[in-house]
Amino acid sequence: MTDATLPAGEAAPLVARDVRLALGDLPVLDGIDLEVGRGEVVALVGPSGCGKSTLLELVCGLLAADSGTLRTRPAALMPQRDLLLPWLDARDNVALPLRIAGTGRREARARAGELLDRVELGGFARSRPDQLSGGMRQRVAFLRALATERELLCLDEPFGALDAITREELRAWLSGLLDARPRSVLLVTHDVEEAVLLGDRVVVLSPRPARVTDVIDVAAPRGARDTGGTPVPRDPTDPALVAARRAVRDALHAAIAADRGRAA
Ligand SMILES: Nc1ncnc2c1ncn2[C@@H]1O[C@H](COP(=O)(O)OP(=O)(O)OP(=O)(O)O)[C@@H](O)[C@H]1O
Ligand SMILES: [Mg+2]
């Protein structure tokens, strides 16, 4: 597949080997091995507080590892909480990283406006965050991460704060975007369903300090289209998806049980 965001011949956007990190006296990452290939969506699941956000911050260069090797292409972060600036409209929120990178106001706004148009939010370009629904705010926050065209997108619980139906809608929306234009994505989620519907692989972490306990391939195809050419999300009843869902659930339970056994 050819795409401007996936330069030919480039190495994997993320390779982490035996990465360790403590925050103060608290060991958080305990020898993480992780890889995201070009155009691959890797979902990261693990118990609450195990170190998922910390790992994403490390990948995006906001933290430095104590040891191990981390090779990563430029990465954009969509943080766990929607951090849109309340005094800027949707367009200026999306344009913000471009402005920070030195793009002039007019061009940054034009590019932000195009991104909003592409996801049918053009009509809300001049609305401030408090005038948008929760789902719209998450889309704007996602576009802001997308705006810089970094090679790796790190999404931290992108749909975390939404109700079930909006979550489902946004999941289909993101799945359609990624099928239309593949990108390399590291997606943190606590939702097993989201992990198997969006991920090509699911990486399961142990309770803190986090290690990778399992890596599960989701063998269900992505990128199906309906007769009108519109991308169709994966079928939740696809046997490969059912198997992956069960494997991820079992792995999570096993990781937590092993930890309880260790603590006892
Ligand atoms: N600046 C900090 N100093 C000390 N400890 C911290 C700091 N930031 C986070 N922690 C702790 O590190 C651990 C890992 O936090 P992190 O936010 O990475 O977990 P998480 O897996 O993303 O959790 P959640 O599922 O709740 O989002 C937690 O126990 C947290 O309390
Ligand atoms: Mg987190």
| Atom 16, ligand 1: residue with shortest CA distance | 51
User: Is the predicted pLDDT of residue 228 greater than 80, yes or no?
Assistant: yes
Q: What average pLDDT does the segment 219-246 reach?
A: 88
| Atom 14, ligand 1: residue with shortest CA distance | 51
5 or 154, greater pLDDT: 154
Given a contact cutoff of 8 angstroms between Cβ atoms, the answer to whether 199 and 219 are in contact is no
Report whether residue 32 contacts ligand 1, using a CB cutoff of 6 Å: no
Report whether residue 58 contacts ligand 1, using a CB cutoff of 6 Å: no
Residue 114 confidence (pLDDT): 93
Q: What average pLDDT does the segment 205-220 reach?
A: 94
pTM of the model: 0.90
| Atom 31, ligand 1: residue with shortest CA distance | 49
Residue 205: pLDDT band with limits 50, 70, 90: very high
Residue 171 confidence (pLDDT): 87
Express each pLDDT in 87-126 by its tens digit: 999 999 999 999 998 999 999 999 999 999 988 889 999 9
Q: What average pLDDT does the segment 162-181 reach?
A: 85
Report whether residue 24 contacts ligand 1, using a CB cutoff of 6 Å: yes
Beta strands in the chain (DSSP E): 14-23, 26-36, 41-45, 67-72, 75-78, 152-156, 184-188, 201-205, 212-217, 224-225, 231-232
Report whether residue 51 contacts ligand 1, using a CB cutoff of 6 Å: yes
Q: What average pLDDT does the segment 72-93 reach?
A: 91
222 or 249, greater pLDDT: 249
Residue 51 in tokens: 């170190």
Report whether residue 49 contacts ligand 1, using a CB cutoff of 6 Å: yes
Residue 42 confidence (pLDDT): 97
Residue 33 confidence (pLDDT): 96
Express each pLDDT in 51-75 by its tens digit: 999 999 999 999 999 999 999 999 9
Residue 29 confidence (pLDDT): 97
Nearest ligand, CA 52: 1
User: Is the predicted pLDDT of residue 261 greater than 80, yes or no?
Assistant: no
> ∠ CA(188), CA(41), CA(246), 5° rounding?
70
Nearest ligand, CA 156: 2
How many other CB atoms are found less than 10 A from the CB of residue 35? 16
171 or 264, greater pLDDT: 171
- Name the average pLDDT for the chain: 90
Q: What average pLDDT does the segment 186-203 reach?
A: 94
User: Is the predicted pLDDT of residue 177 greater than 50, yes or no?
Assistant: yes
CA distance 129 to 88: 8
